[in-house]
Chains A and B, each alone.
Chain A
Amino acid sequence: MSASPVRTTLVKLLFGAAGMFLFAVFVMPPLYDLFCEVTGIGGKTAGPYQVTEAGVDTTRTVKVQFIATNNGAMPWDFSPKVHEVVVHPGAPTEVAFYAKNRTSRDMVAQAIPSLTPFNATEYFHKTECFCFNQQPLEAGKETDMPLVFIVDKDLPRSVKTITLSYTLFDVTGRTTDATDSSNYKEPFALLN
């Protein structure tokens, strides 16, 4: 009974345990993110969209509904200016969300989108969105925040209604610069 087979087992298992730790921290989050992006399950819409082909499908219409929610104790007024629009796939449409900082301090907000049904996620393109950046707003000020979107012509015909929800988070004092769809850049940027 020499010590070396025991040592071999020990080393292998230590590497196994360390590997599982690295898997949990460095592989599982990006893998989850990738899975959600591919399937659209998370309802997270993508970043700025470059229009590649013009043309409007006038044969059908899609109803797009807007929901605005405040996260936790976020004290702003936050609501869509119009609650729903009916659009033709392919046509760029501009809407706006209203926000007012009701507090007496300057604040920064970040809106996080979520879209249902999830099989419409990859067909909903935003060329301009307030959610691409953090929104600073001085005390007591109000603003209209723009959103320009195009519903893709390839949207499954079964989808008649798309609901786009924004949740507004208070990120005042957070140094990180969040952008949607690039979820895990910051955790790793910090580690590198």
Chain B
Amino acid sequence: MAHGPAKGIGRWLFTTNHKDIGTLYLWFSFAMFLLGGFFAMVIRAELFEPGMQIIKPEFFNQMTTMHGLVMVFGAIMPAFVGLANWMIPMMIGAPDMALPRMNNLSFWILPFAFALLASTLFMEGGAPNFGWTFYAPLSTTYAPDTVNYFIFGVHIMGASSIMGSINIIATVLNMRAPGMTLMKMPMFVWTWLITAFLLIAVMPVLAGAVTMMLMDINFGTSFFSAAGGGDPVLFQHVFWFFGHPEVYIIILPAFGVISHIVPTFSRKPLFGYSSMVYATASIAFLSFIVWAHHMFLVGMPIGGELYFMYATMLIAVPTAAKIFNWISTMFRGSMTFETPMLFAIAFIILFTIGGFTGLMMAIAPSDIQYHDSYFIVAHFHYVMVAGAVFSGTAAVYYWLPKWCGKMYDETMGKVQFWVSFVGFNIAFFPQHFLGLAGMPRRYADYALQFSDWNMISSVGAFIYGAAQLLFMFNVIRTIRSGTPVSEPKTWEGAEGLEWTLATPVPYHTFATPPEVK
């Protein structure tokens, strides 16, 4: 039975191996990360100085839209699906995912979705320019014709996410090793199980939103058109009913990764495992009932504002439980600070900052000042970049030696961490000041008093961007010529079934399920 991977390109096109598909997802997401990062560099270059220097305002709008869409749907989400593919079967002692052929399909439709989306950049009328939240009627009545490519792109990536999620749930529920009860599952598996349910609940809602857009644009319906009796505010409700769970879809698997790395490098078991599980489930539940905190300025009645304000603040409770559990895990642990741990600790600190600014915006009366300003841009980059991307980077450094049997360059990893950390904070911390001072988001130009902080922010963004090239270099160098490692545990404090396997991990693992005590 033991046979290795097929030869040539066919290995990757027709593979049903969870490790191969995980690798495909990770490389695809890194490619999208570079593409979205390039868009971000264009944005920051234009905002380096007031006035229009490099690009036209119309193109600037396309850049902000494409940056958001590519990063959220192309970079972060596939990165965590890739990690799930690689790690979940190994963590629960399964030989592969439950539905391997669907796994192949769910990956291979993704490049087509983003090819559709990216091709609009070269079309007449330009790429979508209505922001990643694509509010109607800007995205319907006033949209460029390429909006249809965007809609079909979203449909395809939605189908991909749903298939990926079904696969993860089917795997986790049916293929755990004997003895592994739900409450013995590793945290990464738990967070992904919950995330997958969130995805199945809300990705169809996103598909519904874009379908209604498609009908409004092409078939004369009026879901979101006031002229025909519809309501543009309905779009925002439907979108954020998807959009709020979406941000937890992005961050919950990141929580899972951190819950593995922190115990490993603290050489202590995770503090409060079951509270971590319940906190994750609570966050997932609450994510469905707080969506309108994105819409405090649409003219809600005061009762609605109060409800969404308090419900949103409630989310801080389970989230804080997780933060305190990580801190308690580190407390009096015998800690070392290898690259994954540095990223994990930075995640905890910076995600907490992002969480606090989130609480500030949850306060409906003060949100009037922050709404659609650079303050919100700073907030969600603290949770998306310092949250999801830092955690993804930590995960790659943490598991890369296990995957390929070669050690990355620790010095280069640490350099990448410090350059990323400093660059990130230089780029995004000043955006809090800009937002509080009144600089609105999504504009290609700004008033003169915002010049200094914008210049500093752009410099930080370039530094952060450069650090990601170093990351790519370090990973490729590791795969090609890293120092070979062979002990099952790359990290002495690591626990879990995946660390009982040989290093590098064989192509097929757990053909016979392990016994879990």
Contact = CB atoms under 8 A, between A and B. Distances in A.
Do A and B pair up? The answer is yes
Interface of A: 1, 5-6, 9-10, 13-14, 16-25, 28-29, 32-33, 36, 39, 41-42, 71-72, 110, 112, 118, 167, 169-171, 174-176, 178-187, 190
Interface string B305-320: 0000000000000000
B228 A29 contact: no
Residue of B174, B203, B300 contacting most chain A CB atoms (<10 Å): B174
Top-9 shortest CB links A-B: A24-B208, A169-B227, A21-B204, A20-B204, A183-B229, A187-B221, A24-B205, A9-B170, A25-B208
Contact of B166 (A10, A32, A39): A10
Given A1-B175, A171-B228, A10 B170 contact: yes
Interface residues of B, number: 42
Nearest to A3: B98
B227 A174 contact: yes
Contact of A186 (B201, B211, B222, B301): B222
Contacts of A20: 200-205, 208
B220 A176 contact: yes
Interface in B319-377: none
A52 B451 CA distance: 64
Residue of B166, B203, B207 contacting most chain A CB atoms (<10 Å): B166
Instruction: State the majority secondary structure of interface residues on B.
Output: helix
Contact of B219 (A18, A71, A190): A190
Given A1-B174, A183-B229, A175 B209 contact: no
10 contacts: A9-B98, A10-B99, A13-B166, A13-B169, A19-B204, A22-B208, A28-B205, A112-B229, A169-B226, A186-B220
Interface of B: 98-99, 141, 162, 165-166, 169-170, 173-175, 200-205, 207-209, 211-212, 215, 219-223, 226-231, 233-234, 237-238, 241, 299-301
B226 A17 contact: no
Contact of A171 (B98, B162, B227, B238): B227
Contact of A175 (B165, B220, B231): B220
Nearest to A179: B229
Nearest to B242: A24
B221 A24 contact: no
Given A171-B228, A187-B221, A17 B170 contact: no
B105 to A, nearest CB: 13
Contacts, number: 137
Residue of B201, B222, B227, B230 contacting most chain A CB atoms (<10 Å): B227
A183 B212 contact: no
A72 B137 CA distance: 11
A174 B227 CA distance: 10
A10 B233 CA distance: 35
B200 A6 contact: no
A67 B398 CA distance: 63
A9 B231 contact: no
A118 B301 contact: yes
A186 B175 contact: no
Contact of B229 (A21, A24, A118, A186): A186
Nearest to A42: B231
Given A20-B204, A187-B215, A112 B227 contact: yes
A6 B229 CA distance: 45
B334 to A, nearest CB: 40
Contact of B221 (A23, A39, A186): A186
A13 B203 CA distance: 13
Contact of A18 (B174, B204, B215, B238): B204
A190 B215 contact: yes
B230 A24 contact: no
Contacts of A10: 99, 166, 170
Nearest to B159: A17
Given A20-B202, A29-B223, A190-B220, A178 B166 contact: no
Nearest to A71: B227
A93 to B, nearest CB: 25
Contact of A21 (B141, B205, B227, B241): B205
A22 B203 CA distance: 12
A17 B231 contact: no
A39 B203 CA distance: 29
A165 to B, nearest CB: 12
A183 B505 CA distance: 59
A156 B228 CA distance: 31
A181 B238 CA distance: 20
B237 A28 contact: yes
A190 B230 CA distance: 14
A18 to B, nearest CB: 7
B210 to A, nearest CB: 10
A24 B207 contact: yes
A155 to B, nearest CB: 18
Contact of B205 (A23, A169, A175, A179): A23
Contacts of A19: 204
Contacts of B99: 6, 10
A72 B220 CA distance: 18
B222 A178 contact: yes
B301 A32 contact: no
